[in-house]
Amino acid sequence: MRAYHSNEIGNVVVLGHSGSGKTSVIEAMAYRAGLTNRIGKIEDGNTISDYSPEEIKRHSSVGLSIIPLEWNNCKINLLDTPGSFDFVGEVEAALKVAESALIVVPATEGISVGTKEAMHKAYDKAKMIYISGLDYPNAAYQQKLEDLKMTYGKAIAPIQVPIMEGNKMVGYVNVAKMEGRYFDGEQTHPCPIPDDMWDEITPIKNMIDEAVANTNDELLEKYINEEPFTKEEISWALRQGVMNKTLIPVLCGTNQIGIQIILNSMVAFFSAAGDMVNSMVVHNEETDEDDLIGFDESLAPSLFVFKTIADPFVGRISLFKVCTGSIHAGMTLFNVQKKEAEKLNKIYIMKGKDLVETDCLNAGDIGALSKLSYTQTNDTLCTLDYRITYETILFSQPYYGKAIKPVGKANEEKITNALNKLLEEDKTLKFENNPETKQQCIYGIGDIHIDSVVSKLKERFKIDVTLDNIIIPYRETIRGQVTQRYKYKKQSGGHGQYGDVEITFEPLHDYTVPFVFEEKIFGGAVPKAYFPAVEKGLVEATKHGILAQYPVLGIKATLIDGSYHSVDSSEMAFKTATIMCFKEAMEKAKPALLEPFMTLHVYIDEKFTGDIMGHFNKKRARVMGSEILEDGLIKITAEAPQEEVMNYAVDLRAMTQGQGFFDMEFLGYEFAPEHVTKRVIANHQ
């Protein structure tokens, strides 16, 4: 594969929900473009893009993969992405480096939340829609087209009508060119437009003409005068509409028919990387200012790393996009974030799992580097003379967590290194050691995501682990006010220990701090020198409450009286007196358990609203409101106890057939109901 220039390169992210047919369509495109000599099948585990053991086992994509195609003297880098929301980080990485999006939707009735989510994520990209599976028994092409128009309005521009014989697609009419094509084996041949299709074709032709007329005044005048547009005018106008994001061409077909028109349309309608002038925000390290630049080969070389793969055999593989200039094997670039130089010994093009060595890649192209010493995802490499950084990818936050425990002593020693590699590879994973619960916790987007981590640990690193529920971080507080006095007196030869405090404890109703300390001492009953010791005693005492030993929050402690001994009093004595005073006071001040609450924003199709509301009612949640978004999705905001929504990623998938998504953030602490308090205390005992 030769080195293509920026005006010959296009990067297209392929989006769609699980089961929409993305991988099969990509296989057919790779075959048609000559990248492979056979069409792989998902069920056989031999497709280009789904190559990992995990993907072969699941029969669906888990990671981002790159398939570079050569078509009409252009290079199209297809970025195949998983359809499951659990692997949203892969989609976010692909969207960062793609100029355009191909959204694959099945020919079944209705617009799924997965399609809406794909359209929403690619809001700032030029888009095409491919309706796949027209030969499936439940295909409803006309209804799907109507559903798309209802949802996305005049932007939807079908440029193709299928020729059907019963349930079988045998060809299509390219309405933009008013040409019929008939499928014969692996080739399509020109054919007359069937007479019985004009009623179907005419309104679509009128819609295309109207869209063309709206692109400039000259074409509008031709339209008003009822002069026919030339094929060149139609093609130019459609390209302008797609590039301006006012038109979304809709293509259709099967895994065999209609593939060539996808490739032709991507070259005809989508922007090349070199066309994207002022498309990237860069921060100039020299001037400390932001600037907008395009994929310009004349500038000094720079690249952005958008994905890291932890390969147990090759080592770290860094996927990058050349942003400016040209990248050559053997050159040394500067990592701006790490302040380190990196030698680019070899440059590769990725074809699914295969690394193909190349000498040079130009601005706009996508490649791979192996064994970089310092570079990670979101890093910029550039020259010392042209020090810039690119905007980083904002990855989704993980909310679904499990405690992870290695099986056996040998696995305990290996797991930290393995997890670090997976965390480097997947920025939607989070790992933490919880000092309070002594648990090692792994957080992901959902149970499928966490399950894939367990599989990767087993397959790549030969580490067996078990999963358990994460212990909820409850807290304790008081509901009542009490004044307590405690005198700590100890004599054991030589200097004794003497500390005497009287403290008023009352609810603070602020659960962001353990306590607030004040002193209202009159007449020097307790010298000022011992006030810090009293405060240190409170710090120690509030680490554990009396109900279930959880940390204490939201208490106001006021030192009002006490006494001291000129010889036996000490910091330690006053600290100990305070701790004992606190413990005795807690029992009298109506101790209460606090549970953490979360705020959730749930995005669903309207038809799932009833199920979501009913589920929230069962989970002790408060629905705070809902709103209809521009694309028709419903956004529901609710507040719920953390204990009730620890598995919400799984619950939401079950209620919406995997089509809903959500985000969640910590809200604060609230009083736990009696049945929860009793259960937590019983579990502790």
Is 504 a residue whose pLDDT tops 90? yes
Of the candidates 147, 367, 159, 121, the residue with the CA atom closest to the CA atom of residue 269: 159
**What's the average model confidence in pLDDT over 246-260?**
89
Is 282 a residue whose pLDDT tops 70? yes
Which residue has 């050691």 as its token pair? 433
Answer whether 119's CB lies under 8 Å from 103's CB. Answer: yes
H/E element holding 577?
Answer: helix 571-588
Is 291 a residue whose pLDDT tops 90? no
Task: Return the number of other C-beta atoms located less than 10 Å from residue 272's C-beta.
Answer: 22
**What's the average model confidence in pLDDT over 221-242?**
90
Of the candidates 411, 406, 364, 679, the residue with the CA atom closest to the CA atom of residue 547: 679
Residue-level pLDDT at 279: 76
**Angle subtended at Cα 286 by Cα 285 and Cα 287, rounded to the nearest 5 degrees:** 100
Q: Which two tokens stand for residue 260?
A: 């060539």
Residue-level pLDDT at 44: 66
Question: Confidence class of residue 494 from pLDDT cuts 50, 70 and 90?
Answer: low
Answer whether 466's CB lies under 8 Å from 484's CB. Answer: no
Percentage of the chain exceeding pLDDT 70: 97
**What's the average model confidence in pLDDT over 307-334?**
92
Which residue has 């006030």 as its token pair? 531
pTM of the shown model? 0.82
Question: Confidence class of residue 66 from pLDDT cuts 50, 70 and 90?
Answer: very high
Residue-level pLDDT at 59: 63
Q: How far is CA 5 from CA 89, 152, 231, in A?
A: 29, 34, 28
**What's the average model confidence in pLDDT over 566-591?**
94
Residue-level pLDDT at 589: 96
Residue-level pLDDT at 511: 93
**Cα–Cα distance, 329 to 343 (Å, whole number):** 9
* Three-class SS state of 93: helix
Is 138 a residue whose pLDDT tops 70? yes
Is 43 a residue whose pLDDT tops 90? no
Q: Report the C-alpha dihedral over residues 610, 612, 616, 618, rounded to 10 degrees.
A: 70
Residue-level pLDDT at 682: 92
Going along the chain from its start, the domains and CATH numbers come out as 6-162+245-275 (3.40.50.300), 280-390 (2.40.30.10), 400-468 (3.30.70.870), 475-589 (3.30.230.10), 593-684 (3.30.70.240)
**What's the average model confidence in pLDDT over 319-344?**
95
Residue range 469-491, pLDDT digits in tens: 999 999 999 999 999 999 999 87
**What's the average model confidence in pLDDT over 249-263?**
89
Average pLDDT over the chain, rounded to an integer: 90
H/E element holding 205?
Answer: helix 198-213
How, if at all, do strands 9-15 and 100-106 pair?
parallel
Q: For the sheet containing 439-444, what is the strand order? A: 430-434, 439-444, 400-406, 465-468
**Cα–Cα distance, 142 to 202 (Å, whole number):** 14
**Cα–Cα distance, 294 to 281 (Å, whole number):** 9
**Angle subtended at Cα 531 by Cα 529 and Cα 532, rounded to the nearest 5 degrees:** 90
Q: How far is CA 137 from CA 17, 21, 141, in A?
A: 20, 15, 11
Residue-level pLDDT at 304: 96
Q: How far is CA 532 from CA 12, 518, 541, 558, 635, in A?
A: 63, 11, 14, 13, 50
**What's the average model confidence in pLDDT over 515-532?**
91
Residue range 108-132, pLDDT digits in tens: 888 887 788 888 889 899 999 999 9
Of the candidates 74, 18, 11, 72, the residue with the CA atom closest to the CA atom of residue 50: 18
Is 51 a residue whose pLDDT tops 80? no
Is 290 a residue whose pLDDT tops 90? no
Which residue has 């550039």 as its token pair? 382
Question: Confidence class of residue 635 from pLDDT cuts 50, 70 and 90?
Answer: very high
